[in-house]
């Protein structure tokens, strides 16, 4: 069973400037709710019991959001507003599930994952990238089902416009397992259009094996000088570790860019 999830939250959010100049992008409201809460709701509904947040000193605001008990207690004592009481109870529930680790230098997603090593107990764990919202269908829940069926690692996949392949991790697939699931032959971080093996992109949901940590501790920086989870996954695939690409059926919203962020608010409001 997958019971633990990790969420990298140390990113600077430059694509959302100026909103992120003083504010954590994951706390920006999407239709009246911080983006991170959609991710936590997805985890909880998928049966996750513990979540490790990878933050940085600059993103301390995220921890403060969940650790503001005295403030809430005072307000609730005075006002007894049922809406605030309900919201506070929800925050408290999540607070109990969350552990924090720090990544103070932006060395990439792979480096962020490595920081969680001491907390991961089980053979497999889930990772969610908070810029990638998936609505209408719980992608993590579907991926956990696939993991349970095939006992392997799983990554979310979506067809993208060929012109945009250099923005994503891109798969080369091998065998089709069933309607929406394929074995992964290769995964390449942000290839050029000419070298991309397909237009099937990695979207930010991963079920990873614990062995990823030993690969990450030896991983050299890749594209853009960062340590990529994609490269560590490729090392495991090279050693015959089984990874499945899951064509998810929910709707993907890119909340990490200004256009996508604005669109996601509209999409969620009408859903
Ligand atoms: C990360 C991954 C990339 C993946 C993307 C999905 O890139 O490195 O492989 O396709 O998330 O959103 P980033 O968005 O951090 O540039």
Residue-by-residue pLDDT tens, the chain, 271 positions: 899 999 999 999 999 999 999 999 999 999 999 999 999 999 999 999 999 999 999 999 999 999 999 999 999 988 889 999 999 999 999 999 999 999 999 999 999 999 999 999 999 999 999 999 999 999 999 999 999 999 999 999 999 999 999 999 999 999 999 999 999 999 999 999 999 999 999 999 999 999 999 999 999 999 999 999 999 999 999 999 999 999 999 999 999 999 999 999 999 998 8
* Shortest-distance atom of ligand 1 to CA 187: 9
Q: What are phi and psi of 56, to 5 degrees?
A: -135, 170
* Shortest-distance atom of ligand 1 to CA 203: 6
Which pLDDT score, from 0 to 100, does residue 93 have? Answer: 96
Which pLDDT score, from 0 to 100, does residue 3 have? Answer: 98
Tokens of 26: 């994951």
Any ligand 1 atom below 6 A from CB of 189: yes
CB distance 62 to 26 below 8 Å: yes
Q: Which helix (H) or strand (E) holds 74?
A: helix 69-79
Say how many Å lie between the CA of residue 91 and the centre of ligand 1. Answer: 28
Q: Is omega for the bond preceding 18 within 30 degrees of 0, making it cis?
A: yes
The C-alpha atoms of residue 260 and residue 262 are separated, in whole angstroms, by 5
Which pLDDT score, from 0 to 100, does residue 70 have? Answer: 93
* Shortest-distance atom of ligand 1 to CA 167: 16
CB distance 50 to 97 below 8 Å: yes
Alpha carbons within 13 angstroms on the beta-carbon side of residue 41 total 13
CB distance 163 to 150 below 8 Å: no
The C-alpha atoms of residue 72 and residue 60 are separated, in whole angstroms, by 19
CB distance 9 to 53 below 8 Å: yes
Any ligand 1 atom below 6 A from CB of 42: no
Which pLDDT score, from 0 to 100, does residue 80 have? Answer: 85
Any ligand 1 atom below 6 A from CB of 124: no
Any ligand 1 atom below 6 A from CB of 88: no
Environment class of 228 (CB within 10 Å of its CB; exposed 0-12, middle 13-18, buried 19+):
buried
Helices 82-97, 69-79: inter-axial angle, 10-degree rounding: 160
Cα 248 → chain centroid: 15
Find tokens 């985890």 and name the residue. Answer: 43
Which pLDDT score, from 0 to 100, does residue 32 have? Answer: 92
Any ligand 1 atom below 6 A from CB of 143: no
Any ligand 1 atom below 6 A from CB of 108: no
* Range 21-27 contact pairs with CB under 8 angstroms and sequence separation of 24 or more: 23/61, 24/59, 24/61, 24/62, 25/130, 25/131, 25/255, 25/256, 26/62, 26/130, 27/61, 27/62, 27/65
Say how many Å lie between the CA of residue 23 and the centre of ligand 1. Answer: 21
Domains and CATH numbers, the chain: 4-270 (3.90.550.10)
Any ligand 1 atom below 6 A from CB of 157: no
Which pLDDT score, from 0 to 100, does residue 135 have? Answer: 95
Which pLDDT score, from 0 to 100, does residue 259 have? Answer: 94
Any ligand 1 atom below 6 A from CB of 132: yes
Tokens of 17: 């400037």
């Amino acid at each position: 069973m997958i019971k633990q999830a990790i969420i990298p939250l140390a990113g600077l959010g430059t694509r959302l400037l100026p909103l992120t100049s003083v504010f954590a992008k994951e706390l920006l409201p999407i239709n009246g709710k911080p983006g991170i809460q959609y991710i936590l709701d997805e985890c909880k509904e998928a049966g996750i019991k513990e979540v490790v947040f990878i933050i940085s000193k600059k993103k301390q605001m995220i921890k403060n959001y969940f650790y503001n008990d005295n403030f809430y207690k005072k307000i609730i004592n005075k006002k007894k507003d049922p809406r605030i009481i309900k919201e506070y109870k929800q925050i408290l529930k999540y607070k109990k599930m969350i552990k924090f680790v720090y990544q103070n230098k932006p060395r990439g997603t792979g480096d962020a994952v490595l920081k969680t090593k001491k907390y991961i107990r089980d053979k497999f764990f889930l990772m969610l990238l908070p810029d990638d919202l998936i609505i209408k269908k719980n992608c993590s829940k579907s991926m956990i089902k696939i993991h349970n069926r095939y006992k392997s690692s799983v990554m979310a996949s979506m067809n993208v416009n060929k012109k945009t392949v250099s923005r994503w991790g891109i798969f080369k697939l091998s065998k089709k397992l069933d309607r929406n699931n394929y074995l992964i032959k290769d995964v390449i971080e942000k290839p050029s259009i000419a070298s991309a093996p397909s237009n099937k992109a990695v979207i930010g949901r991963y079920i990873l094996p614990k062995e990823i940590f030993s690969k990450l501790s030896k991983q050299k920086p890749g594209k853009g000088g960062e340590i990529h989870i994609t490269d560590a996954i490729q090392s495991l695939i090279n050693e015959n570790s089984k990874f499945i690409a899951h064509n998810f059926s929910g709707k993907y919203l890119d909340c990490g860019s200004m256009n996508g962020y604005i669109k996601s608010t509209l999409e969620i409001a009408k859903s």
